[in-house]
Chains A and B, each alone.
Chain A
Amino acid sequence: MAVSDTDFHFVQGTDNAGMPTVLTKQPAISADEEGAPKSISFWASARQKLLKDHLAVAWGIILLLIVLVALIGPQLQHYDPNLIRVNARNVGPSAAHWFGTDRLGRDLFTRTCIGIQVSLLVAILSTVLAIGFGTIYGMVMAFFGGWVDEIMMRIIEVFNSLPGLLITMLIMVVLGNGMWTMLFALALTSWSDAARQARGLVMQLRQLDYVTAAVMLDTPLWRIMTRHLVPNMMSILILDIGQSIPGNIFGEASLSFLGLGIQAPNTSLGILIASGQDQMLQHPLQLYIPILILVAIVFAFNIVGDGLRDALDPKFQG
């Protein structure tokens, strides 16, 4: 019963609404052309569902295009992103400078492409890092239980009793600005949800017979994790990664905007937005272009994430 799931979840001290149901890879049944039932795998059915979601597919393609342009763009034009040209400041978009130039005469198209690369790299890597670490942490908690679980839970609570942004900013001040420190700082504040979720999932999974059997056979812990637990959590992990990336894109942009992230002359979407703000009354395009790209990327991630959830999350099946 759904209610008791929620209760259990709550008693554990978590605040996510509802407990994700454990996925046992039961083959979904679908009828093929002849009308005879044919079993297809969980992933095949998920793929089919995702491909039927035209909006998600369309925005997925747009996202891929943005990434491709960001990767190839700088190769096409061969502008040095940091080359300052005094006689070409604040030029509007033209054939030579597709997005125009900024107040130092630097080519904005090249800078935007590199900015997208940096922002996405920071967001994706920090998300993967956070969810990877959180999942391992949660699995260890659930597997050992007892006082290990208790202590590790307290650590999570300490991290959770502050707004994430505050910790990130503090870490950025301590470690200094830069891409790698930012990546680390963002990951540090977002692993605890993944840890709690993994803990809940493993609590359910470890009661299954095949896990008990593996424990009986003296299988090493890492092997139980990689062979038995992670494959069963995979769809939820993918979902989490997809849905956490937008938050980290925001995080990068916001911190860089405040001067606590990527530092000029390096570039990122946040830096571009910050320098666009300086020019917003005279040359609004310099503000609108990076904002448009940021919103498009995040919207694409949101739409694809929503489609993924419909396809992967057992709560939304059927």
Chain B
Amino acid sequence: MIKLIVRRFIELLISTFLIATATFFLISAVPGDALSAQTDKLPAATRAQVYKNTGLNKPVMERYVITMNNMLHGQFGESIADPSVTMSSLIRDRLPASARLGIQQMLLGIPLGLLLGILAAVYKNTWIDRAVTILALFLMSFPSLVLGLLLQSYFGGKLGWFPIIGWPSGDQLWWGGWIYTILPTIAGGIGYIAGYARLLKNSMVDVASSEYVMTARAKGLSEPQIVLHHIVRNAFIPIITSLPVTLAFGITGSIFIESIFVIPGIGQYFVTALTNRDVPIIMGETVLLAILYIVTMFITDLLYTVVDPRIKLYDN
């Protein structure tokens, strides 16, 4: 176990290093930088001074070493386009909106999806199964971007039931201002419905054909007992193990929903940073997301062994 954690940790360090390096040189390869648009019209001396202040006048390799060194000490630096923004201010100010949006979407989508999945599996090969399958395929055909736009233009614009853009802030950051959150929540939650319904249905159908279910049926257990105690319990393994990834991606923001509804979240700012060539923020968000994702994958691996003791990690 300890060996495994150490191994994963080293892998994490290597991956993070590679990702940070690749990101840095990729952005450096783009002509123009965060300051070129702002300083175009300035006198040469002033421009040189601005560049000197931000350190952008140094050669690429030197900047690379400085950046990596700072990162090693947990410093991503302040945004070049807007010096008041740093990674920690970003997390403090913008993560709550993204996280609340993601959690609400999951709370809406996952239970509904699981319910539909159970229905489809229990009534396999009936009209209910077919209806759920086609409904899931239909919902999957709406990217959250498109669904967001449709909801926004119809319920927000035409009917005027909901505000078109905006997000609760201040006291209502985590609780309240629900009217603003309804459309974005639905727009993103639908994807979870389709995904989890299919996942659980397929898993349940798999389990239902296994021998212990046949045994349970042969010894005369009632159908609800079989479904609840034998099928659902085991069919939940892929659900439980896919939850951490869903959670990690969910709370770090849905770029499109945030852009459409102008929600001040992490995802939306990443797009801004990208278009501004704002190296510190791009690096910071990329590296943090990568670490979050790698750790999540590790937790997922551990969860596998918890929910299904037959699985052993790296047991040769």
Residues of chain A touching chain B, judged by Cβ–Cβ distance below 8 Å, are 2-3, 6-7, 10-11, 15, 17-18, 55, 154, 157-158, 161-163, 165-166, 169-171, 173-174, 246, 250, 253-254, 257-260, 273, 276-277, 280-281, 284, 287-288, 291, 294-295, 298-299, 302-303, 306
Q: A2 is contacted by which of B133, B206, B270 (Cβ under 8 Å)?
A: B206
25 A–B contacts from the bound complex (CB under 8 Å): A6-B311, A15-B297, A158-B19, A161-B19, A162-B286, A162-B290, A166-B286, A166-B289, A170-B286, A173-B274, A173-B275, A254-B145, A258-B255, A260-B271, A273-B146, A273-B149, A284-B157, A284-B158, A288-B150, A291-B146, A295-B146, A298-B141, A298-B143, A299-B141, A306-B137
> Using a Cβ–Cβ cut-off of 8 Å, how many residues does chain B contribute to the interface with A?
58
Give A115 to B315 CA distance when docked, in angstroms.
52
Contacts of B137 in A (CB 8 A): 299, 302-303, 306
Contacts of A277 in B (CB 8 A): 149, 153, 260
Whether A281 contacts B157 in the complex (CB less than 8 A), given A2-B206, A11-B315, A161-B15, comes out as: yes
A295 to chain B, nearest CB (A): 5
Give A2 to B23 CA distance when docked, in angstroms.
41
Q: B255 is contacted by which of A10, A165, A291, A306 (Cβ under 8 Å)?
A: A165
Write the chain B residue with the least CB distance to A290. Answer: B146
Besides the known contacts A2-B206, A10-B311, A161-B19, 7 further A-B residue pairs in the complex with CB atoms under 8 A apart: A7-B312, A163-B249, A163-B293, A170-B286, A173-B30, A258-B255, A284-B158
Contacts of B15 in A (CB 8 A): 154, 157-158, 161
B14 within 8 A of A: yes
Contact A259 B206, beta carbon cutoff 8 Å: no
A45 to chain B, nearest CB (A): 20
Contact A162 B293, beta carbon cutoff 8 Å: yes
Contacts of B149 in A (CB 8 A): 273, 276-277, 280, 287, 291
Contact A250 B289, beta carbon cutoff 8 Å: no
Give A200 to B221 CA distance when docked, in angstroms.
39
Give A174 to B14 CA distance when docked, in angstroms.
23
Contact B310 A3, beta carbon cutoff 8 Å: yes
Whether A7 contacts B271 in the complex (CB less than 8 A), given A15-B300, A280-B153, A291-B146, comes out as: no
A303 to chain B, nearest CB (A): 6
B39 to chain A, nearest CB (A): 20
Residue picked from A2, A17, A246, most chain B C-beta under 10 Å: A17
Contact A295 B141, beta carbon cutoff 8 Å: yes
Contacts of B141 in A (CB 8 A): 246, 295, 298-299, 302
Contacts of A258 in B (CB 8 A): 255-256, 259, 271
Write the chain A residue with the least CB distance to B315. Answer: A11
Contact A306 B133, beta carbon cutoff 8 Å: yes
Contact B11 A157, beta carbon cutoff 8 Å: yes
Contacts of A11 in B (CB 8 A): 312-315
Write the chain B residue with the least CB distance to A315. Answer: B206
Residues of chain B touching chain A, judged by Cβ–Cβ distance below 8 Å, are 11, 14-15, 18-19, 22-23, 26-27, 29-30, 133-134, 137-138, 140-143, 145-146, 149-150, 152-154, 157-158, 202-203, 206, 210, 238, 249, 255-256, 259-260, 270-271, 274-275, 277, 282, 286, 289-290, 293-294, 297, 300, 304, 310-315
Contacts of B140 in A (CB 8 A): 246, 298, 302
Residue picked from B137, B255, B294, B314, most chain A C-beta under 10 Å: B137
Contact B238 A17, beta carbon cutoff 8 Å: yes
Give A281 to B158 CA distance when docked, in angstroms.
7
Whether A170 contacts B26 in the complex (CB less than 8 A), given A161-B290, A258-B259, A306-B137, comes out as: yes
Give A6 to B304 CA distance when docked, in angstroms.
11
Contacts of B143 in A (CB 8 A): 250, 253-254, 294, 298
Contacts of A260 in B (CB 8 A): 271, 274-275
Contacts of B315 in A (CB 8 A): 11
Residue picked from A157, A163, A287, A306, most chain B C-beta under 10 Å: A163
Contact A294 B158, beta carbon cutoff 8 Å: no
Whether A299 contacts B290 in the complex (CB less than 8 A), given A170-B274, A173-B277, A253-B143, comes out as: no
Contact B27 A174, beta carbon cutoff 8 Å: yes
Contacts of A299 in B (CB 8 A): 137-138, 141
Q: Closest 4 A-B residue pairs measured CB to CB?
A: A299-B141, A280-B153, A298-B141, A250-B143
Contacts of B19 in A (CB 8 A): 158, 161-162
Give A163 to B255 CA distance when docked, in angstroms.
11
Whether A170 contacts B23 in the complex (CB less than 8 A), given A10-B304, A284-B153, comes out as: yes
Contact B133 A287, beta carbon cutoff 8 Å: no
Whether A7 contacts B30 in the complex (CB less than 8 A), given A161-B15, A258-B271, A287-B149, comes out as: no
B23 to chain A, nearest CB (A): 7
Q: A257 is contacted by which of B145, B153, B158, B313 (Cβ under 8 Å)?
A: B145
Give A17 to B203 CA distance when docked, in angstroms.
9
Write the chain B residue with the least CB distance to A55. Answer: B134
Whether A166 contacts B270 in the complex (CB less than 8 A), given A161-B290, A257-B256, A280-B157, comes out as: yes
A300 to chain B, nearest CB (A): 9
Give A246 to B191 CA distance when docked, in angstroms.
14
Write the chain A residue with the least CB distance to B301. Answer: A10
Contacts of B311 in A (CB 8 A): 6-7, 10
Contacts of B282 in A (CB 8 A): 170
Give A254 to B210 CA distance when docked, in angstroms.
41
Give A257 to B259 CA distance when docked, in angstroms.
10
Give A259 to B137 CA distance when docked, in angstroms.
28
Residue picked from B15, B143, B152, most chain A C-beta under 10 Å: B143
Give A158 to B286 CA distance when docked, in angstroms.
12
Contacts of B314 in A (CB 8 A): 11
Contacts of B153 in A (CB 8 A): 277, 280-281, 284, 287
